[in-house]
Structure 1
Amino acid sequence: MCPRWQATSRREISKWIWPLPRRPAHHPFCTSAVLRSAGTLSTSVNLEDFPCHKIRNFSIIAHIDHGKSTLADRLLEMTGTIKTDSRSVNQQVLDKLKVERERGITVKAQTASMFYQQNELRFLLNLIDTPGHVDFSWEVSRSLAACQGALLLVDASRGVQAQSLSVFHAARERGLTIIPILNKVDLSTAQPDRVKAQMHSIFGIDPTDVLHISAKTGEGISGVLRAIVERIPPPSGEITGRLKAFLFDSSYDRYRGVISLVSIQDGVLRKGDKIASCHTRKKYEITELGIMHPEEVPTAQLLPGQVGYIACNMRQSSEAHIGDTLHRVGDAVEPMPGFQPAKAMVFAGIYPLESSDFPNLEESIKRLTLTDRSVAVQRESSVALGQGYRLGFLGSLHMDVFRQRLEDEYDANIVVTAPTVPYKVVYKDRTVMVSNPTDFPDVVDTSAHVCEVQEPIVKASIIVPEEYLGEMMVLCFEHRAEDVDHQYLETSGEGSNRAMLTCTLPLSEIVAHFFDKLKSRSSGFASFDYDDAGYKQSSLVKMMFLLNNKPVDALALIVHRSAEQRTGRVWVKKLHKVIPRQLFEVPIQAVVGKRVIARETLSALRADVTAGLYGGHYERKMKHLENQKEAKRKLKRIGRVDLPQEAFFDILSTRRS
């Protein structure tokens, strides 16, 4: 060996080797930082003391703004999981994302383990928080899969809302035990007896089983904890059985790779164990595991019925398959039923403002879709906007939240195209799904080769006070509603009666402005929910916009034939406002096939070519003017209108608003 190498210390040699990233001590995922922020488990707590019969796994299901996050805060306080500071109030502890705190909604399921003592027994309670909006039904289904019970939370002043219906039925289909709870009973507008009658008529719940609480003041929270222990059945599992862990969520940490949330069904999982995936067949070694209390707290092992996190040097986001079953290497098990793949209902293109930012956008989308597997991702390119992605979402709110998370968490500067829905184009020999308007066939091609075009429809439910029922019917008919029906939820009692309006609507009619109009015309009292109802034949056309007789693919639309005239006039006027003037006259046209639906003309910038002529004959001035006209005619034939990114941003933002 070279004497120089012999005299060199190991510490100096390690400096020459390219180091892997190390977690700083202040990093939120560093073990020491976790112990300081979340605290270690008490010395009196041993996870081995909590077999299956002392474990309860439950979720909270509710409509938006019914107090679900506030109830979670009070449960964490009552069990001593988080400290109660008299100088401040814990608010939305489990809503960790910036978008959740700004909007006041839950968009990402979170897990928190609590220790609760009743009489002489101590129980381990695993709360798996769930969103309440229909656009995040994928998060709800994953949360409910790891639970045996659910708390159905209803506002005592607002009553049963539309989105509570779908979440309740999803929990009932999975066989979960439902604990009905009335929240906000301390308000002067609360009507507990009337709301309990609603719950009995809609859900078939016995009014005597309903708990009365005020999550804001803490009234009745102790009764909720007792009901969780007494009513919700414990999970089943064999500690001596083969290891079987159900993966129901994941996130990414740049220092540890993919962090997976698992529910242990059978066996014991320890640090250092070698595990394998039933889906990918890849093998890993457990480097860290623990429970969420509510932050990460490392433990020595996870037992049957317990819910926790694992880190196993999983580097690729695609390896963490939601619904996968993990088992010990060499000890194969029968995989558990996974989840049905999420079906995207709304599509939009996302492009960087600067083309050089595309690699950063690509990496940001990969990281963000790890925490939201319901997003469909496909690369695409546009002549006007360059390289980008076409993403599929479960709804318009889901799309807007994803956009905001890209901007907040990854500082992305992006342009989002108008939302579209997937259409079925039935040719004579095949059926094609089209989500990008540029791929939709032209009118001439449709008449020659296409048998029919189908659009997705939904079964909509609107719960609204009786006095707004007429306005809601008008709104539905304006958006091509069919099979409109209604029924009254109450026939007597204090206050106005409420009605539930049901109808079938084209999905394309509700992805843009429908929800805003619904809230505006009902003074904010209406609630809206919908379920997929398949596809139906419809008369649809592709509308293109021409600038100086050249199409702009990024602005293509798919519209119903009954709305083509109105839509064409509106959008050519908006384009006329945002497109910068050129040196030649620019016609702005909305066309369907070869028909021009609407037109606006952008006047040319005119230079005074006679300004430098001092005196002289009149024909001299006319010669300069004629030369200018000829140059403009030639420029119009060969000229090209380049839309700046700012103009695209303005027109697309206006289209979504």
Structure 2
Amino acid sequence: MASLPSVETKYIRNFCIIAHIDHGKSTLADRLLEETGAVTSREMKSQLLDDLALERQRGITIKARAVAMPFQRDGIDYQLNLIDTPGHVDFQYEVSRSLACCEGALLLVDAFQGVEAQTMANAFAAMEHDLTIVPVINKIDLVHARSDEVAEEMMNSLGTDPDECVRVSAKTGQGVAGLLDAIIDRIPPPTGDPGGALQAMVFDSNYDDFRGAITYIRVMQGTVRTGQKIRFLRAESEHEVVELGQFAPSRVACDELAAGQVGYLICNIKSLGDVHIGDTVTVPGKHSAEALPGYDQPRPMVYCGLFPSDGQEFSDLRDALERLAVNDPSFEFEPETSDALGFGFRCGFLGLLHMEIIQQRLENESDIDLVQTAPNVTYEIITKKGETLMIHKPQDVPDPGEIDEFRQPIVKCNVIVPEDYIGAVIQLCQERRGIQRNQEYLGAGRAMLTYNIPLAEVIYDLHDRIKSCTRGYGTLDYEIVGYEAADLSRLDILVNGNRVDALSVVCHRADADRRGRAVAKKLKTEIERHMFEVAVQAAIGSRVIARETVPAMRKNVTAKCYGGDVSRKRKLLQKQKEGKKRMKAIGNVEISQKAFMSVLSSGDD
């Protein structure tokens, strides 16, 4: 494709689409691409911007994608820069990065499902960034569409004017032309000066094996040109711009990017440490601009160990993790060793879906077979000496005698449900040690419940359980509010008296008996029988709370004794008993990989 026509800053519109999961963001992006002629009908395919194989396989957006769309109205050439964002709560960080690069946002709501938990979270985030919000009601072609009621719901919960709602069908294209007019008329143009000192925000990047790091930027001020020397302020490195361009939606090279434009630059950066999301790009020397505020560093809340099933793949796994970390700054990792699993990495994620996606991307893109330990959240411990420890893995929990206070992360959960299911959701939240903070009605028959719940009780399966008990109509959104003291303890699993570090978990003391008994029973069936009996124990500190015994293989040593004195049989049995005792003292218990995987995969069961 030829390069995009250059336009004045006042004719540029930067906007993103924010919505709850499955409200039609990616489909609406497809219609906008078609309507503006950014892609031909031959190139068109559904969910065009979801180009990761995993996105197409799961039908969800994981990475935010930018695309520039040329559009002509009344003889004037406009450039509409769209950033398509994910809807799942785990990828909220991707949304926040997109909001910082835009002046406006299309707030998309399903004409049947109405305002959902993530709709409100995204809308408030857009308001915090002072974005102009264009409310859009999608799926008006549905037989069960209730557009007027949804417009009223939006007014009650978000304060939007029902008359300003643009009604579209992303599937059929109905109303999309009117939406383009609303984007041009309502969203303000960027404010930057193309003649000022260069100041550009790095909002994303990925790694190409042939070109090195490809940096996605939004130019706030000034102009960047091919061949120019630039400086990354945070990385304190200087490079020459080899190629500039925009996404239309594939990469299209151009000679310069001016204030207000969104695009990419390639500088042959081979070192992954030179690119930081949220960094500022400027020119070296005395004409350089000040650093932009950037982004708050995301705090991973769920941790688990990733180990290669074949120890030889350790360096391959490290390279694959480094490449992923360039593309996803909310993911972090550090090396760790486990007595049971060997060398691997301790990885931090924003949530359980984020963890699952990273694991699948590693297996699909880098072809590495992984073993994953049980996920756990970050805890805070105040020791008797007054020190504050952040605990990312159960093995780091000190002995109970050294702990003054054990704190767990608490999240504020907003659950939006039809009123028929309020009782079931309240019961579920109370089972998860939730404390109710608020209950309000959004419209006819729909209520929002607000609870404070420990994060460890939320991440495993609360979302799925809410979907089950509300027949798919309930939606959940959560945000971290802080740490609170709780009656927690580390549950250790001992096999033949030795602690198995990979199976340790932190749990509430009231749950410890149930979980310890469940893991011990599971291991009893999975550990192969040895020549001596093997004790499988669950313990809190030095107190054993559950035990199962794997019986020894036994040879009938008295089979050859027929008749005669009973003392001869006793002597043989005593000899066998002493032999087994000696074996137990020096023998090692082999726990197969299959046994580990079965216990880890069973989770809370």
Are residues 1:57 and 2:14 paired? yes
Q: Distance in 2 between matches of 1:126 and 1:609?
A: 82
Q: Please state how far the C-alpha of 1:624 moved relative to its aligned partner.
A: 4.6
Counterparts of residues 320-331 of structure 1 (less than 5 Å): 320-330=275-285, 331=287
Report the secondary structure of 2:105's partner residue.
strand
Tell me the TM-score normalized by structure 1.
0.89
Structure 2 residue aligned with 1:486: 439
Q: Distance in 1 between matches of 2:422 and 2:101?
A: 39
Structure 1 residue aligned with 2:526: 578
Are residues 1:408 and 2:367 paired? no
Query: After superposition, what is the alpha-carbon deviation per residue over 1:172-193, rounded to whole angstroms, capped at 9, x for unaligned?
Result: 1001111111111111111111
**Correspondence for 2:446 among 464, 475, 498:** 498
Q: Please state how far the C-alpha of 1:432 moved relative to its aligned partner.
A: 0.8
State the AA in 2 paired with 1:61.
Answer: I
Q: Distance in 1 between matches of 2:555 and 2:185?
A: 85
Structure 1 residue aligned with 2:35: 78
Structure 2 residue aligned with 1:273: 228
Q: Distance in 2 between matches of 1:94 and 1:239?
A: 29
Q: Please state how far the C-alpha of 1:451 moved relative to its aligned partner.
A: 2.0
Flag the 1:288–1:616 CA change in 2: closer, same or farther, 3 A. farther
Structure 2 residue aligned with 1:442: 399
Percent identity among equivalent residues?
45
Are residues 1:214 and 2:214 paired? no
Q: Distance in 2 between matches of 1:522 and 1:247?
A: 41
Contact 2:5 2:70 in 1 (8 A): no
Report the secondary structure of 2:185's partner residue.
helix
Are residues 1:155 and 2:75 paired? no
Flag the 1:294–1:204 CA change in 2: closer, same or farther, 3 A. same
Q: Please state how far the C-alpha of 1:435 moved relative to its aligned partner.
A: 1.2
Structure 2 residue aligned with 1:28: none
State the AA in 2 paired with 1:579.
Answer: I
**Correspondence for 2:72 among 117, 125, 131:** 117
Report the secondary structure of 1:399's partner residue.
helix
Moved more, 554-563 or 647-656: 647-656
Contact 2:561 2:569 in 1 (8 A): no
Q: Distance in 1 between matches of 2:21 and 2:200?
A: 31
Are residues 1:553 and 2:480 paired? no
Q: Please state how far the C-alpha of 1:135 moved relative to its aligned partner.
A: 0.9
**Correspondence for 2:219 among 264, 288, 305:** 264
Contact 2:200 2:221 in 1 (8 A): yes
Contact 1:113 1:292 in 2 (8 A): yes
Structure 2 residue aligned with 1:590: 538
State the AA in 2 paired with 1:397.
Answer: L
Q: Please state how far the C-alpha of 1:609 moved relative to its aligned partner.
A: 4.8
Counterparts of residues 159-558 of structure 1 (less than 5 Å): 159-330=114-285, 331-427=287-383, 428-443=385-400, 445=401, 449-491=402-444, 497-558=445-506
Contact 2:231 2:238 in 1 (8 A): yes
Structure 2 residue aligned with 1:141: 96
Higher strand residue share: 2
Q: Distance in 1 between matches of 2:52 and 2:524?
A: 39
Query: After superposition, what is the alpha-carbon deviation per residue over 1:604-641, rounded to whole angstroms, capped at 9, x for unaligned?
Result: 22245567x59796766665544333221211222221
Q: Distance in 2 between matches of 1:122 and 1:531?
A: 42
Q: Please state how far the C-alpha of 1:429 moved relative to its aligned partner.
A: 2.7
Report the secondary structure of 1:489's partner residue.
strand
Contact 1:418 1:656 in 2 (8 A): no
Q: Distance in 1 between matches of 2:561 and 2:489?
A: 57
Contact 1:57 1:147 in 2 (8 A): yes
Structure 2 residue aligned with 1:90: 45
Q: Please state how far the C-alpha of 1:269 moved relative to its aligned partner.
A: 1.2
Q: Please state how far the C-alpha of 1:642 moved relative to its aligned partner.
A: 2.0
Q: Distance in 2 between matches of 1:219 and 1:603?
A: 70
Moved more, 600-609 or 518-527: 600-609
Structure 1 residue aligned with 2:581: 633
Contact 2:194 2:222 in 1 (8 A): yes
State the AA in 1 paired with 2:5.
Answer: N
Contact 1:58 1:150 in 2 (8 A): yes
Contact 2:436 2:452 in 1 (8 A): yes
Q: Distance in 2 between matches of 1:369 and 1:617?
A: 75
Q: Please state how far the C-alpha of 1:303 moved relative to its aligned partner.
A: 1.5
Q: Distance in 1 between matches of 2:368 and 2:539?
A: 34
Q: Please state how far the C-alpha of 1:124 moved relative to its aligned partner.
A: 0.7
Contact 1:74 1:218 in 2 (8 A): yes
Report the secondary structure of 1:239's partner residue.
coil
State the AA in 2 paired with 1:346.
Answer: V
Q: Please state how far the C-alpha of 1:583 moved relative to its aligned partner.
A: 1.8
Q: Distance in 1 between matches of 2:164 and 2:316?
A: 53
Structure 1 alignment gaps of length 5 or more: 1-38, 492-496
Q: Distance in 2 between matches of 1:52 and 1:254?
A: 34
Report the secondary structure of 2:60's partner residue.
coil
Q: Please state how far the C-alpha of 1:412 moved relative to its aligned partner.
A: 1.6
Structure 2 residue aligned with 1:106: 61
Q: Distance in 2 between matches of 1:511 and 1:442?
A: 26
Report the secondary structure of 1:334's partner residue.
coil
User: Number of paired residues?
Assistant: 602
Q: Distance in 2 between matches of 1:40 and 1:647?
A: 58
Q: Please state how far the C-alpha of 1:105 moved relative to its aligned partner.
A: 1.1
Report the secondary structure of 2:149's partner residue.
helix
Q: Distance in 2 between matches of 1:306 and 1:594?
A: 62
Are residues 1:651 and 2:599 paired? yes
Q: Distance in 2 between matches of 1:531 and 1:266?
A: 33
Structure 2 residue aligned with 1:17: none
Flag the 1:89–1:122 CA change in 2: closer, same or farther, 3 A. closer
Q: Distance in 1 between matches of 2:62 and 2:604?
A: 21
Contact 1:442 1:541 in 2 (8 A): no
Contact 2:166 2:179 in 1 (8 A): yes
Q: Which runs of 4+ in 1 moved over 4 A?
A: 608-611, 613-625
Q: Please state how far the C-alpha of 1:533 moved relative to its aligned partner.
A: 0.8
Report the secondary structure of 2:29's partner residue.
helix
Q: Distance in 2 between matches of 1:40 and 1:616?
A: 100
Q: Distance in 2 between matches of 1:617 and 1:243?
A: 102
Query: After superposition, what is the alpha-carbon deviation per residue over 1:220-247, rounded to whole angstroms, capped at 9, x for unaligned?
Result: 1111111111111011222221111111
Report the secondary structure of 2:603's partner residue.
helix
Q: Distance in 2 between matches of 1:484 and 1:141?
A: 26
Q: Distance in 2 between matches of 1:621 and 1:259?
A: 79
Flag the 1:511–1:183 CA change in 2: closer, same or farther, 3 A. same
Flag the 1:334–1:553 CA change in 2: closer, same or farther, 3 A. same
Moved more, 138-147 or 569-578: 569-578
State the AA in 2 paired with 1:465.
Answer: P
Q: Please state how far the C-alpha of 1:281 moved relative to its aligned partner.
A: 1.7
Counterparts of residues 1-80 of structure 1 (less than 5 Å): 39-41=1-3, 45-47=4-6, 50-80=7-37
Query: After superposition, what is the alpha-carbon deviation per residue over 1:589-610, rounded to whole angstroms, capped at 9, x for unaligned?
Result: 1111122111111112224556
State the AA in 2 paired with 1:92.
Answer: Q
Q: Distance in 2 between matches of 1:618 and 1:176?
A: 96
